[in-house]
Amino acid sequence: MGYLIQLDAYEGPFDLLLDLIAQNEIDIWDIPIASITEQYLEYLYSLQEQDLAITGEFLVMAATLIRIKSRLLLPPEPVEEDEFEDEVDPRLELVEQLLRYKFFKEVASFLQEHYSDASQVFTRGQMAAPLDMTPIYTDPVGDLTVTDLKELYYALITEVEKEEPVHSIPSSISLPERMARVRVQMVGQPRITFRDLLQDSSPAEIVVTFLAVLELVRLGEIAVVQYQSCGPIDIEPFALEVEVQ
């Protein structure tokens, strides 16, 4: 009466499928969908009987297995004589996902194993430098004493506190906003240089401006022209005809 499946804790539906494939000694490239689907659903029924929650990803995988199973049971569609396209195996996408999951799981297990081994190794470390026990004299800087230095220090602190604090707010601009600014700067201008767009710009704004120009070129709104090698880069509206000298 069905399959006996122990309720192990699986990290996800792919983990469960790989376990079922291993238990049945099945070739991952030739999965018997009908059998695997039955065992997979049996596991979900077992969870329901014990009032255990079933996450959405397990239900999505169940629907995927049922869909693949139904496609394999349907008769093949008639193909005209002129059409010689190879029929795609409906299991192929699932197999590729399983192989990717298996690869990353094995890599994670390998890294975890080596991390556990490395955590058991303790190096001797670097020896501490010997302490300098040289006494500090009361006149370290010429004729100044420690008391004189203390008074100078507090005088400097007092002068600094008198200055008004300066609050600098970093400017941030998004790519759509920078594209809009470029469009505004181009209004009524036959051309504008790329250097003109970078006036009073921070390094981050220069990068965003460069990306905005590339995006406007891709959209066909502007053209970028350089009339001579290592010369200035001109930006012109796309509607204008560009004459390359």
pLDDT at 6: 44
Give me the pLDDT at residue 2, please.
Answer: 40
Mean pLDDT of 205-222: 86
pTM (global) more than 0.85 = no
| 134-165 pLDDT per residue, tens | 655 544 555 667 777 778 778 888 877 776 66
CATH 1.10.10.580 residue ranges in the chain?
A: 175-237
What is the average per-residue pLDDT within 202-213? 84
169: pLDDT strictly greater than 60: no
- Residue 125's pLDDT is what? 61
- Which of 32, 51, 2 is closest to 17 using CA atoms? 32
82 pLDDT tier (thresholds 50, 70, 90):
low
User: Can you give the pLDDT at residue 123?
Assistant: 67
The answer to whether residue 243 scores a pLDDT higher than 60 is no
The CATH number fitting domain 175-237, selected from 3.30.980.10, 1.10.10.580, 3.60.10.10, 1.10.10.60: 1.10.10.580
